[in-house]
Amino acid sequence: MEETTRERRQKTFKCQSCGLNCPYTSYGQKPPNTRAIVLLEECYVTKDPFSPDKEKFLVLGSKCSLCGVTVCVGSDCSLFYTKRFCLRCVNKNLEQFPHQIRTELAKKSPR
């Protein structure tokens, strides 16, 4: 009796902010097949499909350190300031972020 349920289940990263949907290969601070790379945060990474270099990978997104939603690294969805924050949490806690970040955000959102 052969097991046919063996097909690799594709893990999928989904941004809960913009809905970006993309298969990922690993989650963590150290992407597989890379020697010296340790990321600043736990994040979803996928192998760079456009590069033959095995050590090339793309960071898709991560979890908001405050509310835990999964967000992509797009500047419309999250912000990295010592930790990853989704923009909702950033806006909720704006006064806790340095002035520089607030002005950056103000520039970006045409309200």
The CB-of-19 to Zn ion minimum distance in angstroms stands at 7
Does 16 contact Zn ion by CB under 5 A?
no
Q: For CA atoms 66, 70, 72, 74, give the dihedral sign.
A: negative
Residue 8 CB, nearest distance to Zn ion (Å)? 25
Q: Is 18 in the site for Zn ion (CB under 5 A)?
A: yes
**Residue closer to Zn ion (CB basis): 2 or 95:** 95
Residue 14: its H or E element: strand 12-14
Phi, psi of 92 (to 5 degrees): -70, -30
Q: Interface residues for Zn ion in 53-72 (CB under 5 A)?
A: 64, 66-67, 72
For position 22 contacting Zn ion by CB under 5 A, the verdict is no
77 token code pair: 């969805």
Contact at 8 Å (CB) between 97 and 91? no
Which parts of 72-91 interact with Zn ion (CB under 5 A)?
72, 74, 77, 86, 89
**For residues 78 and 15, what is the distance between their CA atoms, to the nearest angstrom?**
10
| 13, 17, 44, 87: which one binds Zn ion (CB under 5 A) | 17
